[in-house]
Amino acid sequence: MSRIEKTVFISYRRTNQFTALAIFKDLTSRGYDVFFDYNSIKAGDFEQIILREIEARGHFLLVLTPSALERCKEPGDWVRREIEHALNHQRNIIPLTFEGFDFKDMDKYLDGELQRLKNYNALRVPIDYFDAAMDRLSNDYLNIPIDAVLHPAPTQNQPAVQQAIQHAKSEPQPTQNQMTAEEYFERGVNRASDDYDGKISDYSKAIRLKPDYARAYFNRGNIYDDRGDDTLAIADFSESIRLEPDDADAYNNRGYVYWKQKNTNLALADYNQAIRLNANHVSAYLNRGIAYEEGKNEYQNANHDYQRYIDLGGSRRDEVRGWIEANKRKI
């Protein structure tokens, strides 16, 4: 029997945490029961709780910015898994699109069933008219009868769920600076790939407004790397790591810059850490294999990493198979 359902799950990328927090606080103030994990669920409990909360809630809000889908091609990416789970359980999916997002971008990151997202009625959310967009979300998009079969979340998960919700509620209202920082970040993401100066300017503005914006340091480090400014790239990757010590990508990318500088030992140390943090980090295996082969002449170790890269579906598989055969002859 159709009913008006006031339970909501918010799916978002960590780079958009303040945007998502603003949505959470607005809907909570309107009487909605909203699940929003604001970095408080322990890693061991995360998978079970997240998937069960999607099943337990009628509406699935997806925060879509230019950076939101970038990592959806990676094995095990959580935004991708959340979308898939919501699709499979026929939740009322509402894409919330922000400045710079274009559904054409989905073709690069989402395949197969995930292309169905284009069929859902998206709501544009201009930051300057945020309150008006939230009115429309509540009055038009959430205030509809739905037929979804809801599955009660396991009782043992409730303490962690309530802790996550209370954690989000206890956070202060996002400031204008925090929201604007995310806007500058997304503007940088959305610029042409060769617009180095524009990207650096936007990421720098985001950092000035939000000095602990780890992903802005990471992205700016990538641009400095592309531009050949190795010292600035290493400084930004190092700051990103300081702010988010569990970010395998930052270790991998800093390792690559060290490798360019012929510092094999520092490069290997960073690749090792990237793989410790993410045992399926495709690029780190390829990069470490190259460092073993060319920097250390350790062909057996190189081949082990190359094979792991192939097993994980790396895009240069055919080329790397040739490297393995060449190394076998050297061994």
Q: Grade residue 48 by pLDDT with cuts at 50, 70 and 90.
A: confident
**72 or 312, greater pLDDT:** 312
State mean pLDDT over 300-325: 95
Question: Of 317, 320, 247, nearest to 290 (Cα)?
Answer: 320
Percent of the chain with pLDDT over 90: 69
Q: What pLDDT score was predicted for residue 152? A: 67
On the CB side of 114, CA atoms within 13 Å amount to 19
Percent of the chain with pLDDT over 70: 94
pLDDT tens, 115-155?
888 888 999 999 889 999 999 999 999 998 887 666 666 67
Contacts for 111-117: CB closer than 8 Å, 24+ residues apart? 113/84, 113/87, 114/72, 114/80, 114/83, 114/84, 114/87, 116/87, 117/62, 117/83, 117/87, 117/93
pLDDT tens, 254-282?
999 999 999 999 999 999 999 999 999 99
The mean pLDDT of the chain is 91
pLDDT tens, 101-117?
988 877 778 777 778 88
State mean pLDDT over 60-72: 90
- Residue 313 clears pLDDT 80, i.e. is over it: yes
Q: What pLDDT score was predicted for residue 5? A: 84
Q: What pLDDT score was predicted for residue 44? A: 54
Write down all domains in the chain, each with its CATH number in brackets.
Answer: 3-170 (3.40.50.450), 175-228 (no CATH), 246-331 (1.25.40.10)
